[in-house]
A and B are shown apart, each in its own frame.
Chain A
Amino acid sequence: MDLLSNLALGFGVVFQVVWMKLSVFGIATAIPVPMNIFFCLMGALIGTLIGVLPGVGPVATIAMLLPITFGLPPVGALIMLAGIYYGAQYGGSTTSILVNIPGEASSVVTTLDGHQMARQGRAGPALAIAAIGSFFAGCVSTVLVAALGAPLTSVALLFGPAEYFALMTLGLVFAVVLAKGSIVKALGMIMMGLLLSSVGSDIETGQSRMAFDVPELSDGIGFVVVAMGVFGFAEIIRNLENTEAGMREIVAAKVTGLMPTLADLKASTGAILRGTTIGSILGILPGGGAVIAAFAAYTFEKKVAKDPSRFGRGAIEGVAAPESANNAAAQTSFIPLLTLGIPPNAVMALMVGAMTIHGIVPGPQVMTKQPDLFWGMIASMWVGNLMLVVINLPLVGLWVRLLRVPYRLMFPAILIFCNIGNYSINNAPFDVGLTAIFGLVGYMLIKLEFEPAPMLLGYVLGPLMEENLRRAMLIARGDPMTFVYRPISAVLLGLAVLLLILAVLPMIRTKRAVVFVESEG
C-alpha cells in the first residue's frame, strides 16, 4: 500500500526526535525532544490563544503569528503553521459558543445553536462536541488528503502555463462567487490584489515597477505587511468602535460538566458524519472552503431533522454538523494547495506566503522533491487535530478567563506583538510603517463593504498568474486563442464564465442572500 507507507513516512517526520545536548551537573547528557510535535503543540496552543480573542479570525491569527515561524526549519515552520490554523479555527468556535461573537464567517453558524446551548448552561457539551466533531472530521479528511494527494499530483503534470492560468482564474472566480455581498466589489478587490502584487521588480526583466525608487519596495510589498494590516490592524480598529458593554455578552455561568451525555452523542453522531462528508467535498473546491461548508452542513441538518424548529434554540446537531464540516473543509482545502500549488482561499494564500518565505514553491513538485515535507505536513494535520482535543478540553477554563480580560487591555498587547514580530522579520521599520497604512486601507475597505479576502487571494496569486499568462502567450506566439484551443484550459475557463453568469443571475443572487441572512436570524 502506497498510502500507508506514505503516511508512515509522514508520521516518522512528525514524531522525529532531536537529541538535545545538555550538561546536567557537569555530566553531558542528551535528551530526546520530539521537535515537530512540540512545534505542532505550540502552534495549536498559541493559535487558540489568539484565535479565541473576539473578532480575530483564523486569517488574522495566522497573519499575526507568521513572524514567529520564520526562524524555524521549513518542515517545523509549516507544521507549526498548520497547528496555528487548527488552533485558531477552534479558538473561533470557543468564542462563538461562549461570547456569541464569531471570529470569522465559518463560525457564524456555530453561534446560532452553540450560544443558545451555553445560555442553557450546556457550554461544556457544546465545546466538547465541537472538539469531538472536529477531531473526527480531521481524521477522515487527513486520510482523504493523503489518498487524493498522489493522483491529483499526476494530473498537475498535464498542466502547462495556459492550464495553470485558467485554473487560477477559476479559483479567483470561485472566491468572487462565494464572497459575501456584491460580486462587482469582489472582482474589484481581486484586481486590487493583482495590482498590489505587481509592485516591485518585474519577474522577467527585473525592471522596477511602481516602486517610486523606494529601495524598500524593490522586492515588492511584503506579504506579512498586507495580511497583517488588512486583516489584523483593520479588524482591531473596527472593533474599537464598539464599547465594552455592547461588544460581548459572555456567558456568566461557570463552564461545568464538560462531557456530553450519551443522548447528546447519539444525537450528534449522524450530524458529525454528514458534516464531515459535506465539508470534505466542499473544501476541495477552490474559493469555498470552510465558510460555505459550515452553512451547507447546517442547512442540510435542518432539512433532515425530524423537528427543525429545535434549531436556533440549542440543538446539539446544530453545533456538531457545522463544526465537523468546517474542520473537514479546512483540511481538504490543502489538497489544491499541495497538489496544484493554488491556494483555494485566504488562509491557504497565507500558507503559500509562508512557504515562499521558506523557499518552497507549492505545487506538484513538492511531493516528489520534498516528500518528508509533504507527508509530514499531512501527518501533522492529524496530530494537530489530536492536540486540539488534548489541549482545548482541559483548558476551556483558561480560555474563558482570557475572554474576560477587557478589550481595552487586550488590543494594545496584540498590536505590540504584531509590531515587534513584523519588525523582526527584516529589521525594517519601513515594514511597520507600511503596515499602519494597510491597516487604514483595510479599515476603509470594511467601511465600504469590500471583502478583503479576495484581495489577499489576488495578491498571492498575482505573480503566478502573470508569469503563466506571459509564458502561455509567448508559447502561443501572442495568440490569446490558445486558452480556448487547449481542452483543459477551455473547460476551466468555460466553468469560470458559467459560474460568473450564474452568480450574476438575479435568482441565484436572492438565494445567496437568503443563505447569508439566515446566519443573522
Chain B
Amino acid sequence: MADGVEASPEGQRGHSVISNPRDFLAGLILLALALFALWAARDLPGMHGFAFGPGTAPRMFAMLLGGFGILIMLTGVLTKGPGVESFAIRGVLLGTVLVVAFVLVSFFSSKLMTSFGFRQGDTVLAALVALVLAIVLARGYDRGPLYVTAGTLIFAGTIRPLGLILASFISIVVCSAGTMEVRWRETVIAAAALTLFCALLFPYALNLPFAFWPRF
C-alpha cells in the first residue's frame, strides 16, 4: 500500500491536469499494488499444460486489479471531483513510517539486546521508537492514525516481554492521544481502571493464558 501513496505527489489538491485527484490517487494505488503483486509472484510457476500453477490465479487477479486501477485513474482525469484531505494522506504516510521503523528496529536490534542479556528487548526498543516518532510527527488531525498505529504497535511489541498489565496500560494511554480532546488526568485514571478490568476479564473470566508482569 505504502509505495503507492509515496509515489503520488499528484494526488494533492489543486493540480491542473488531474481534475479528480481522489479518483486518480485511488487508481494509482491499485495499479501500484497490482504491479507489486506481479513482482512478488514473479517466481511462481504458471500454467503447465491445461492445469493452473500456483502463480496463475494471483497473476490473473493482479492483472485485473491493475486494469481496474487504470480505469479509475482515467475517471480521475475525465471527471471532476474533490481531493483527499492532506492530513489523511500525511496520517497514512507517517503511520507507514512508524510501521517500517518498528520492523527495522526490532530486526536490527535483536542481537544487540541479546548481548545486553535482555532477550526480548528488541521489540520493546522498537515500540519505544514508534512512540517517539509518533510524538515527534503528529500534527493536528493526523494524530488519529498515528497514535492508534503507535498504540497497537506498542501492544504488539511489549505484550510478551512486559506482560499484560504494562502493555495494556501503555497502549491505552498512547491510543488515547489519538484525539485532540484528550485530557491527561482523566486518561490515566481510565487507563488504570481499564487495565484492571482487562487483567480480570481475559485471564480469569475467559481463561486465557497471559503473563501479568515483565519477565527477563
A→B interface (CB under 8 Å): 68, 71, 182, 184-185, 187-188, 191-192, 194-195, 198, 202, 204-205, 207, 209-210, 212, 233, 236-238, 240-241, 243-244, 406-409, 411-413, 415-417, 419-420, 423-424, 427, 429-430, 432-433, 435-437, 439-441, 443-444, 447-450, 466, 469-470, 473-474, 477-479
Contacts and interface: CB of A to CB of B under 8 A. Distances in A.
B61 interface: yes
Contact of A237 (B123, B156, B178): B178
B128 to A, nearest CB: 15
B104 interface: no
B155 A423 contact: yes
B123 A429 contact: yes
A86 B114 CA distance: 50
Across the A-B interface, the 8 shortest Cβ-Cβ residue pairs: A478-B50, A240-B144, A202-B54, A191-B65, A432-B156, A436-B152, A188-B68, A448-B26
B105 interface: no
B71 interface: yes
B91 A436 contact: no
A237 B25 contact: no
B84 interface: yes
B72 A182 contact: yes
B31 to A, nearest CB: 10
B25 to A, nearest CB: 6
B50 A412 contact: no
9 contacts: A191-B64, A194-B61, A209-B44, A238-B144, A241-B144, A419-B171, A436-B95, A440-B1, A447-B89
A409 B51 contact: no
B65 to A, nearest CB: 4
B18 interface: no
Interface in B186-208: 186-187, 190-191, 194, 198, 202, 206-208
A433 B127 CA distance: 11
A439 B148 contact: yes
Given A409-B190, A439-B149, A188 B156 contact: no
Contacts of A244: 181
A411 B175 contact: yes
Contacts of A424: 202, 206, 208, 210
Interface residues of B, number: 84
A408 B68 contact: no
Interface of B: 1, 5, 22-23, 25-27, 29-30, 33-34, 37, 40-41, 44-45, 49-55, 57-58, 61-62, 64-65, 68-69, 71-72, 75, 84-85, 88-89, 91-92, 95-96, 99, 102, 123, 141, 143-145, 148-149, 151-153, 155-157, 159-160, 164, 168, 171-173, 175-176, 178-183, 186-187, 190-191, 194, 198, 202, 206-210
Given A188-B68, A424-B208, 16 more contacts: A184-B68, A185-B68, A188-B27, A192-B33, A195-B61, A233-B152, A238-B144, A415-B172, A416-B194, A420-B202, A429-B156, A429-B159, A433-B99, A436-B152, A470-B52, A477-B50
B28 to A, nearest CB: 10
Contact of B50 (A237, A420, A474): A474
A240 B171 CA distance: 17
Given A192-B30, A241-B144, A466-B57, A416 B1 contact: no
Which secondary structure characterizes the binding site on chain A?
helix
B22 A449 contact: yes
Which residue of A194, A198, A416, A435 has the most chain B CB atoms within 10 A of its CB atom?
A416
Contacts of A198: 57-58, 61
Contacts of B92: 440, 443-444, 447
B34 to A, nearest CB: 8
Contacts of B91: 237, 440, 443
A408 B152 contact: no
A184 B194 CA distance: 44
B50 A188 contact: no
B155 A440 contact: no
A411 B168 contact: no
Contact of A240 (B1, B52, B179): B179
A432 B71 contact: no
Contacts of A449: 22-23, 26
Contacts of A429: 123, 156-157, 159-160
Nearest to B63: A191
Given A423-B159, A448-B26, A212 B149 contact: no
A72 to B, nearest CB: 10
A436 B149 contact: yes
Contacts of B23: 182, 448-449
A212 B1 CA distance: 16
Contacts of A185: 26, 68, 72
B198 A237 contact: no
Nearest to A68: B206
A416 B52 contact: no
Nearest to A206: B54
B159 A184 contact: no
